[in-house]
């Protein structure tokens, strides 16, 4: 039973574990005040679905808490917002089962529930020394798209592609399901590659070395800013791709999937023995020299 009572009643499938994750998006922090209702809705759902992908879960249900300024509490804005919710819900076959609506600064909070077969979830804590580090898709799109939204000059990029990447970042749900039983650890890239790979390292008590020449960056992002594109890929966040590790005995399976165009991913580094303090991630440039890491990723309270 979904919406209509004080709580939803959910029947998980047999031999499945429930995966639960929440995210909050705030106007001016996670999206600009010029965003439409539909753009806000699609971004909010996609961001939350990415957490399901990071766990290797099949998303099933979600609740929505919407805090809305009085001036936007009108049928036109709500119809546009609802259209975005409906579009992504249909795409991923998920159901809205409850939530709340209040008045105040525009804020969208979603709690997503999914299912994963028992003992098959992807977690941050499984990386081991000798594992290879992979990422899916392109990195730097999220930061480049945010910059393109706020730029007041002509830029040589595919603005439509980046606009889509910002407001409807595609959660890597099917990719993550493929990686069940293959990836030793996994995380979605929301705060930046260095920060999120660092989370894997901390949870697994290891370190990582990654190579800038192996990090995939889209050509239009390189043209947009040759100077900043690598920083965007390393630290920018909002990419919602997957960073995952694979042990030596499973590497052939991943390479076969990549060679057969069943998996869009590339190797960017390796897992090593944890060092003493500092950032657990070492970034090497094209000359294999370490890059000084002045930042590690987005920090809401930094």
What tokens appear for 161 in the block?
Answer: 């592609």
Share of the chain above pLDDT 70, in %: 94
Q: Say if residue 153's pLDDT is above 70.
A: no
Helix (H, G, I), strand (E, B) or coil at 156: coil
- The Cβ-side half-sphere exposure at 37, using a 13 Å CA radius, reads 19
Mean pLDDT of the chain: 92
30 in Cβ contact with 130 (< 8 Å)? no
Domain spans of the chain? 16-117, 124-284
pLDDT band at 300 (very low <50, low <70, confident <90, very high): low
Q: What is residue 275's predicted lDDT score, i.e. its pLDDT?
A: 79
146 in Cβ contact with 244 (< 8 Å)? no
Q: Say if residue 156's pLDDT is above 70.
A: no
The C-alpha atoms of residue 254 and residue 267 are separated, in whole angstroms, by 10
Q: Which of 40-54, 76-90, 174-188, 281-295 has the lowest mean pLDDT?
A: 281-295
pLDDT (mean) for 167-195? 96
For 124-284, CATH number?
3.90.650.10
Residue for token pair 């699609």: 42
Q: Of 179, 161, 169, 151, which Cα lies nearest the Cα of 243? A: 179
**Nearest 5°: phi and psi at 291?**
-95, 130
Q: What is residue 301's predicted lDDT score, i.e. its pLDDT?
A: 60
| pLDDT (tens digit per residue) in 68-115 | 999 888 999 999 999 999 999 999 999 999 999 999 999 999 999 999
- Please state the length of the chain: 302
- Record the pTM: 0.92
| pLDDT (tens digit per residue) in 3-61 | 887 888 888 889 999 999 999 999 988 888 889 999 999 999 999 999 999 999 999 99
Q: What is residue 154's predicted lDDT score, i.e. its pLDDT?
A: 46
For 16-117, CATH number?
3.30.1330.10
In order of 73, 127, 141, 161, 213, the CA distances from 54 in angstroms are: 34, 14, 18, 23, 25
Q: Say if residue 2's pLDDT is above 70.
A: yes
Q: What is residue 158's predicted lDDT score, i.e. its pLDDT?
A: 60
pLDDT (mean) for 117-124? 94
Q: What is residue 148's predicted lDDT score, i.e. its pLDDT?
A: 84
The C-alpha atoms of residue 194 and residue 198 are separated, in whole angstroms, by 6
The C-alpha atoms of residue 200 and residue 197 are separated, in whole angstroms, by 5
């Amino acid at each position: 039973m979904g919406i209509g009572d004080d709580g939803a009643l959910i029947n998980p499938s047999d031999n499945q574990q429930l995966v639960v994750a929440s995210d909050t998006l705030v106007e001016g922090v996670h999206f600009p005040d010029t965003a439409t209702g539909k753009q806000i809705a699609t971004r909010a759902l996609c961001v939350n679905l990415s957490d399901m992908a990071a766990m290797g879960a099949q998303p099933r249900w979600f609740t929505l808490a919407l805090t809305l300024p009085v001036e936007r509490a009108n049928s036109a804005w709500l119809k546009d917002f609802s259209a975005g919710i409906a579009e992504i819900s249909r795409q991923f076959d998920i159901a809205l089962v409850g939530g709340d609506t209040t008045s105040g600064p525009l804020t969208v909070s979603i709690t997503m529930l999914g299912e994963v077969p028992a003992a098959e979830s992807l977690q941050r804590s499984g990386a081991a020394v000798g594992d290879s580090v992979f990422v899916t898709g392109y990195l730097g799109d999220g930061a480049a798209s945010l910059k393109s939204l706020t730029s007041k000059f002509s830029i040589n990029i595919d603005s439509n592609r980046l606009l889509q990447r910002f407001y409807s970042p595609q959660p890597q749900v099917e990719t993550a399901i493929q990686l069940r039983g293959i990836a030793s650890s996994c995380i979605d890239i929301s705060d930046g590659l260095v920060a999120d790979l660092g989370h894997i390292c901390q949870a697994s008590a290891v370190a990582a070395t990654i190579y800038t020449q192996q990090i995939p960056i889209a050509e239009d992002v390189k043209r947009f800013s040759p100077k900043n594109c690598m920083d965007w890929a390393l630290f920018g966040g909002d990419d919602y791709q997957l960073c995952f590790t694979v042990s030596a005995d499973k590497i052939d399976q991943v390479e076969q999937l990549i060679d057969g165009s069943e998996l869009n991913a590339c190797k960017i580094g390796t897992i090593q023995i944890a060092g003493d303090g500092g950032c657990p991630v070492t970034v090497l440039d094209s000359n294999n020299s370490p890059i000084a890491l002045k930042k590690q990723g987005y920090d809401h309270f930094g």
